[in-house]
Structure 1
Amino acid sequence: MGEHCHCGTHAASALSQAQWDQVDAILNRYKDTPGNLMPVLQEVQEAVGYIPAEVQQRISCQLKVPGSDVFGVMSFYSMYTWQPKGKYVIRFCESPPCHIAGAENMLHFMQEELGIKVGETTADSLFTLETTACLGICEVAPAMQINEVVHGNLTKDKIRQILADYRAGKAPDYKKLPYSTNAFRSYKQAPGELILLENVGVIDPEKIDDYLAKGGYQALKQALTGMTPEKIVEEVKASGLRGRGGAGFPTGLKWSFTRPLDVPQKYIICNLDEGEPGTIKDRYIVEGDPHKLLEGMAIAGFAVGADKGYIYCRGEYYLCKHRLATAIAQARAKGYLGENLFGRGFSFDIEVRSGFGCYICGEETALIESIEGKRGYPRSKPPFPGVAGLWQKPTIVNNVETLAAIPAIITRGGEWYKSLGTADTTGTKIYQIIGHVRTPQIVEVPAGITLRELIDTYGGGMRDGGKFKMCQTGGASAGIVGPEALDVPVDFGMAKVGGALGSGTMLVMDESVCAVDFARSVAVFFAHESCGQCTPCREGTRQLLQTLTRIWEGKGQPGDLDFLERLGKTMMDASFCPLGQTAPAPLFSLLKRFRQEFEDHIAGKCTHGVCKMG
């Protein structure tokens, strides 16, 4: 390939020599890095602003990867771009939480103010307007992101002021912001002890000495100098800790499968992709206390015999990536990462990798493919990552919240942790209470709190005196519960009433919400985020959206609901991965509870007056 790719030729290029020099410097820095395609593409786009064909060709040649692979990766992740854009790229969120908060109206107003449509750039090349499936800032819905900076709780007046500030050159520097959205300590706090969020809002997250003053890295020292790897695994098993990313698999059991494998290389991966609409908890941990995550990862590495860790951070979390890079450099300088930690002969280091706009990469094998520099297609299981994961080596994949619990389990013991929460969901849990409540927020409490208490005590009750209609529990792929679930403990046992703990997000909706309109907003999300690897999901999500859109428009037909149910069952049975298998779940739940609303739409009437009938 090399003799035909003309790596040194760019005579007709739109790039300046200085830009080409930047590209080459990036390529040279990453030339020996495994899985280097994604980091190179991201840094080149940041440096140049876009990645035209000639730059893709140079990357292909220098990294010795086929040009089709470069194109394939760029076309898979939504944040890559081939063409120049405005100085400020506005990414307007249209996720279900933003949708029920009025995002569509705000987007229409934004288009009027800018004089452009979605996908266009203003004549002065200042603004490009785009939509995005989710930004991970659901507590401030409706929201948007301009370059790296989040702007939430949007109103018409606020949008006017934001645009005026940017036009006047008053663009905020995201690295100087204390947090992306809200201060955690501004929220109503639970009366009990904080474990995961104890330092958030108390220490300076960019100063390791603040973390050390709070007992930071003592758990790592205790694990390395006073415990065997086997003892650590047993302590985590005794704690009853289950994965906090949504699946709920026992953490210690997962580690115990990988620990005995006698191979020279193992990996720890932290999943900070957090792409599930409504899920915002991991961002608070990492922005406010990044060293706690690093410490948990290092302990996990020692426990299973891994010497390298990766943190896979979603592309939109710019402040998280900055805080992690700072914390990693400080931990290396202090000897908490690197070679021969605490003189035990154990070495462990961490690297941050970034997603670039792809929900499916929250699935652990798709995440692994992405780190390897590929499209994020889920793998067939078995083999599971614990046996054959990153580069086919044994790999532990845990969520941020899961790993952040490890230091406390080591210092205070598994039995102490197990004494908190419920029998099947031990420890504390970070809940996210969002949607139609007065004060959307997160709260850390022992697992098992009721939905009613989350709404009334921490959400401040229903907004504007509204009446509770339903709640989507656990994330966009979970079912809908009604008033009968208000006093059921929100733990892994919530599946018995049609809900789910999932990531711990609770999207509360009042009676202003139309079931058909909400079902369509969820279908928009899944149709956009299907990776396209398998036909049942690729075509099924599109057909769900198309059929629901017809019903939403008042053009439904008598057999549509039966078709949707048959289609959904086929997707659940035949889809390759959990995205397609669970995408119909919210619709099924809505049909079970609010079928009459769907039938009314087919008859040509939206009783809530929110759908675009006719």
Structure 2
Amino acid sequence: MMTLAAEIDRDGTSPEKLLSPVLSAFWDEPEPWTLETYRRHDGYEGLRKALAMSPDDLIAYVKDSGLRGRGGAGFPTGMKWQFIPQGDGKPHYLVVNADESEPGTCKDIPLLFANPHSLIEGIVIACYAIRSSHAFIYLRGEVVPVLRRLHEAVREAYEAGYLGANILGSGLDLELTVHAGAGAYICGEETALLDSLEGRRGQPRLRPPFPAVAGLYACPTVVNNVESIASVPAILNRGKDWFKSMGSEKSPGFTLYSLSGHVAGPGQYEAPLGITLRQLLDMSGGMRAGHRLKFWTPGGSSTPMFTDEHLDVPLDYEGVGAAGSMLGTKALQCFDETTCVVRAVTRWTEFYAHESCGKCTPCREGTYWLVQLLRDIEAGKGEMADLDKLNDIADNINGKSFCALGDGAASPIFSSLKYFREEYEQHVTGKGCPFDPARSTLWADDTDDTNAHRGVNA
């Protein structure tokens, strides 16, 4: 295997200077998932430092670090912890959202597979801060190898005294439950996840009340993404100033970017927030040989798509937002010129229609009719008026549903019509897709997917 340190990008800058392997620093070592390997890399040292602080000081420290949620919305993690009421006499819960379901997103599952103890250490720190004695990990049930590895890591943590009663002599008691979900995209929404965890059908709740006040079992609850919690131990161990030295002023720190699609080197790239897609492509070998970038998503299929004009947009929350999209889960799906935009958007919309929980009318009915229109357009049965109808239906979904699934379904419609309306029109006037079916692809079938990540080694 060639390390990225041995590669040089087009500007002559070592990729090591662009990447910041922290969570992925030892993914390439033998058995990186074990407690022994984790301890060799300062494992649980952040917990020791956290337990030496008061819970309130710990919350303030994480808040001052500027860590923002890595699950999509980018809400400040410390502030979310701070919302938990104290002295209310109720149990407090921490729920880790590991129901990674967004098309194109593949960061939390590889992280749990290679380095589960970073999450467990972060959970103990977070529970100490919010004064919780019971935490839950809600894992997507289809990933059975990850589930088994996570169970083993939890067993190791209990055996070593990092979970259970009187953790490291601090007086903190903590029970950790790993729950395997049944595979519904909607359960990635935090309130639907809580309903599912309680044994009910996973559907979003009307808010308020918010989970911080009435979450799991109607008690104060913090719901955090895997990467958000797993990032906390390094902040405690190395310091908030170290963390803020990376990234941008309002989006500090490191994060995992999932690069996939028609690229030469798909995988996980751990870098400071604010890196650009151009830089990531330069260090990963670019698009597949003989092809050029046509469009891409900055944060999975639920975020408005970008084109090759946006290669230099800083991939942080402010930069992507200013350019008209959302950073989301940092799922960088790249498509080349062989891809039919209408076909891609149709497939995404079919996914959202299938995964809609049906609770609210705009999403339940709107996604269904979007699919019907898109299928007709793709098949050459559409009319010019259908393009405005697509936009109108998406507008009646966007911002009018219980949760962000509706917004996610509308985003590809709005952005594809904005950048590729002419391609839609070609499907109507030409009575079918103008792309050669022999060449038109959604995903490359000739790329090397053997690399699990590009955080430090490839």
Q: Report the TM-score, using the length of structure 1 for normalisation.
A: 0.67
**Secondary structure of 1:347 counterpart:** coil
Find the aligned partners of 1:186 and 1:544 in 2 and give their Cα distance. 46
Which position in structure 2 is the counterpart of 1:441? 267
Give the secondary-structure state (helix, strand or coil) at the position aligned to 1:513.
Answer: coil
Deviation at 1:555, TM superposition (A): 0.4
Q: Secondary structure at the residue paired with 2:147? A: helix
After TM superposition, the structure 1 = structure 2 runs for residues 252-263 of structure 1, keeping only pairs within 5 Å, are 252-258=78-84, 260-263=86-89
Q: CA deviation at 1:206?
A: 4.9
Residue identity matched to 1:333: E
Match of 1:21 in 2: none
1:289 partner amino acid: N
Q: Greater shift after overlay, 413-422 or 229-238? A: 413-422
Gaps of 5+ in 1: 1-181
* Mapped pair 1:212 → 2:39: yes
Provide the rounded CA distance (Å) in 1 between the counterparts of 2:152 and 2:26.
17
Task: Read off the aligned partner of 2:23 and give its amino acid letter.
Answer: L
In the alignment, what sits opposite 2:333?
A: 507
Q: Superposition pairs for residues 516-527 of structure 1, below 5 Å? A: 516-527=342-353
Helix, strand or coil for the counterpart of 1:584?
A: helix
Return the offset for 1:404: 0.8
Letter in 1 for 2:297: Q
Residues 296-344 of structure 1: per-residue CA shift (max 9 Å, x gap): 0000000000111100111121111111100111111111000111222
2:76 aligns with 250
Contact kept? 2:136, 2:176, Cα under 8 Å:
yes
Amino acid corresponding to residue 53 of structure 2 in structure 1:
M
Residue 294 (structure 1) aligned to one of 113, 117, 120: 120
Alpha-carbon distance between aligned partners in 1 of 2:385 and 2:437, rounded to the nearest angstrom: 23
- Partner of 1:330, secondary structure, is helix
1:473-488 counterparts in 2 under 5 A?
A: 473-488=298-313
Q: Which letter does structure 1 place at the counterpart of 2:303?
A: A
User: Does the aligned pair in 2 maintain the 1:183–1:201 contact within 8 Å?
Assistant: no
Q: Which has the larger Rg?
A: 1
User: Is the CA contact (8 Å cut-off) linking 1:238 and 1:418 kept in structure 2?
Assistant: no
**Which residue of 351, 366, 371 corresponds with 1:545?**
371
Deviation, structure 1 residue 384? 1.1
Closer, same or farther in 2 for the Cα pair 1:485/1:513, shift >3 Å?
same
Deviation, 1:395, is 0.7
Letter in 2 for 1:601: H
Amino acid at match of 2:352: F
Runs (5+) with no aligned partner, structure 2: 8-14, 439-458
1:160-180 CA deviation, whole Å, 9 max, x = no partner?
Answer: xxxxxxxxxxxxxxxxxxxxx
Match of 2:212 in 1: 386
2:379–2:433 contact (8 Å) kept in structure 1? no
> Does structure 2 retain, via aligned residues, the 8 Å contact 1:200–1:284?
no
Q: Distance in 2 between matches of 1:365 and 1:184?
A: 42
Partner of 2:10: none
Q: Where does 1:26-41 land on structure 2 (aligned, <5 Å)? A: none
1:253 alignment partner, SS class:
helix
Instruction: After TM superposition, give the deviation of residue 261 of structure 1 in Å.
Output: 5.0
Over aligned residues, Cα RMSD in angstroms? Answer: 2.0
Distance 2:317 2:377 in 1: 34
Which residue of 1 is the match for residue 253 of structure 2? 427
The question of 1:371 aligning with 2:197 is answered yes
CA deviations 1:534-564 (Å, max 9, x no partner) are 1111111110001100111100023111111
Q: Deviations over 1:330-376 (max 9, x none)?
A: 11111100011122221112111011111111111111111111111
- In 2, Cα distance between the equivalents of 1:504 and 1:373? 31
Specify the alignment match of 2:180 in structure 1.
Answer: 354
Separation in structure 1 between the aligned mates of residue 70 and residue 64 of structure 2, nearest angstrom: 17
Return the offset for 1:480: 0.9
Once residues 436 and 389 of structure 2 are traced to their aligned partners in structure 1, the CA distance between those partners, rounded to angstroms, is: 25
Report the 3-state secondary structure (helix = DSSP H, G, I; strand = E; otherwise coil) of the residue aligned with 2:265.
coil
- Is the 1:190–1:445 contact (alpha carbons within 8 Å) kept by the matching residues of 2? no
2:296 to 471, 484, 499: 471
Q: Which of 337, 341, 358 lines up with 1:532 in the alignment?
A: 358
Residue among 411, 426, 434 paired with 1:607: 434
Query: Could you list the per-position Cα deviations for residues 389-416 of structure 1 after superposition, in whole angstroms to 9, with x for gaps in the alignment?
Result: 1001111111111111100111122222
CA shift in 2, pair 1:544/1:193, >3 Å: closer
Contact 2:377 2:432 in 1 (8 A): no
- Report which structure shows greater RCO (CA 8 Å, sep ≥6): 2
User: How far off is 1:263 after superposition?
Assistant: 2.6
Query: Which residue number corresponds to residue 455 of structure 1?
Result: 281
Q: CA deviation at 1:193?
A: 4.0
Aligned pairs (5 A) from 1:279-358: 279-358=105-184
Normalising by structure 2, we get a TM-score of 0.90
Regions of 4+ moved over 3 Å: 182-193
Provide the C-alpha distance between the structure 2 equivalents of 1:468 and 1:389, rounded to a whole number of angstroms. Answer: 43
Residue 222 of structure 1 corresponds to: 49
Residue 472 of structure 1, CA deviation: 1.5
Among 233, 244, 247, the alignment partner of 1:407 is 233
Letter paired with 1:218: E
SS at the partner of 1:268? Answer: strand
SS in structure 2 at match of 1:522: helix
Amino acid at match of 2:293: F
Aligned to 2:27: 200
For residue 299 of structure 1, what is the amino acid of its counterpart? I
The CA distance in 1 between the partners of 2:5 and 2:187, in whole Å, is 32
Give distance in 1, aligned partners of 2:308 and 2:387. 24
Rounded to whole Å, the distance in 1 between the matches of 2:248 and 2:358 is: 39
Equivalent residues in 2 for 1:19-98, closer than 5 Å: none
Residue 315 of structure 2, aligned match among 484, 487, 490? 490
After TM superposition, the structure 1 stretch with the greater mean CA deviation from structure 2, 293-302 or 434-443, is 434-443
Cα distance 1:203–1:413, how it changes in 2: closer, same or farther (>3 A)? farther
Tell me the percent identity. 44
